[in-house]
Amino acid sequence: MQGIIWLEECVDGEWDVCFPQYGDNLDIAEISIKEEDIMLLPNGMDARINEKIKAQFGD
């Protein structure tokens, strides 16, 4: 999934990441992720991808 780093600093090796949906829909989740598990996207993010992944697992 694609998310946004929510806080400006890493805490204990983890970043707070928000996983939004497209438009005015509620966010899917906000969780802490280890720095080594994060991959930065070169061209930004597209929240519609998150909605497609979420749909595969149901609401």
Can you give the pLDDT at residue 59? 60
- Of the two residues 58 and 19, the one the predictor is more confident about is 19
- Cβ-based neighbour number of residue 17 at 10 Å: 19
The first and second tokens of residue 33, run together, are 């992720």
Q: Average pLDDT for residues 8-18, to the nearest whole number?
A: 92
pTM beyond 0.75, yes or no: no
User: Can you spell out the DSSP letters for the chain?
Assistant: ---EE-SSS-BTTEEEEEE--STTSPPSEEEEEEGGG----TT---THHHHHHHHHH--
Tell me the pLDDT band of 48, cut-offs 50, 70 and 90: confident
Model confidence at 32, pLDDT cuts 50, 70, 90, reads: very high
Domain that holds residue 24: 4-57
Tally of structural domains, the chain:
1
Q: For the chain, what percent of residues have pLDDT higher than 90? A: 25
